[in-house]
Amino acid sequence: MADKHQPLSGKVALVTGAGGGIGKATVLKLAEAGADILMCQKKPESLQGLADEVKKKGRKAVWTGTDLGVMEDINKLIEKAKVDFGVIDVLVNCAAVSPFFGPVLQADERLWDKIMSVNLKGPFFLSLGIAKLMIENKKPGNIINIASVGGMRPDPMLAIYAISKAGMIHMTRMLATELGSYGIRCNSISPSFIRTRFSQPIWGIPEILDMVLKQIPLGRIGEPDEVAKVVVFLASDDSSYVNCENIVVTGGMYAG
């Protein structure tokens, strides 16, 4: 029986975008729950400190640089998972980019390709590779995708990003439908405004923050830990019959 304080004891989790706000919080919460961690991001220098934090919690931590927009990097990451851990039990697709904030009419092909390759293509092929590794080892597992409420509703000034997250939500459902028979559960999480550097251009402007808070019944934006806790729930047996779902973490934003 799993330790209720460490429901992921003996498990290995792979977290992409591990150096970001939600990514870092996810790594630490998974480690607290008992998981060993393989973490990556495009510029991995800051991951050494995070790895040290994981090790202080008594868990193994391995980090590497990976550009999720490059297939060669994705394949190297899957191979590293095999060599260092043998199998991955939990994959958290957290890496994302959003280099364009502006009217949709100003979007161009370069931006489209960049955002789609990291936010959708990369997570898709990484998920396939890790799922194959789970199946080869005859182990059930979890794939958890960090999407966005922008993928559920039109998100002005963030058109390509929102479209990529809509694709991620549907990708989750497709993977859940086809991989469930192997014991692999696939779910997504759609946060709204979370206090991270990624979203600071929005919540860091008082006028915009005030406008946003008026739409949130709880009256505040979320913290990275509040998303990470949902990741741990989905990764554990506490959610053993939760599959093909998109869990919204918004403080009630867009309610009704």
pLDDT tens for each residue of 213-247: 998 999 999 999 999 999 999 999 999 999 999 99
Roughly how many angstroms between the first and final C-alpha of the chain, as a whole number? Answer: 40
Distance CA 112, CA 66 (A): 20
**What does the pLDDT read at residue 61?**
98
What confidence score (pLDDT) does residue 154 get? 83
Q: Say what the pLDDT of residue 156 is.
A: 84
Would you say 19 and 44 are in contact if contact means Cβ atoms under 8 Å apart?
Answer: yes
What integer pLDDT is reported at residue 46 of this predicted model? 86
Domains and CATH numbers, the chain: 12-249 (3.40.50.720)
Q: Where are the beta strands (DSSP E) in 101-164?
A: 141-146
Its sign, for the CA torsion 242, 176, 169, 29, is: positive
Average confidence (pLDDT) over 184-213: 88
pLDDT score at 78? 98
pTM of the model: 0.95
Share of the chain above pLDDT 90, in %: 84
Which of the residues are catalytic?
161
| pLDDT band for position 256 (cuts 50, 70, 90) | very low
Residue 108 confidence (pLDDT) above 70: yes
The pLDDT, as a whole number, for residue 198 is 79
Please tell me the distance from the alpha carbon of residue 130 to that of residue 142, in angstroms, as a whole number: 10
Taking 90 as the threshold, does the pLDDT of residue 30 lie above it?
Answer: yes
24-47: average pLDDT: 96
Q: Provide mean pLDDT across the span 147-155.
A: 92
pLDDT at 58: 97
pLDDT interval class at 255 (50, 70, 90): low
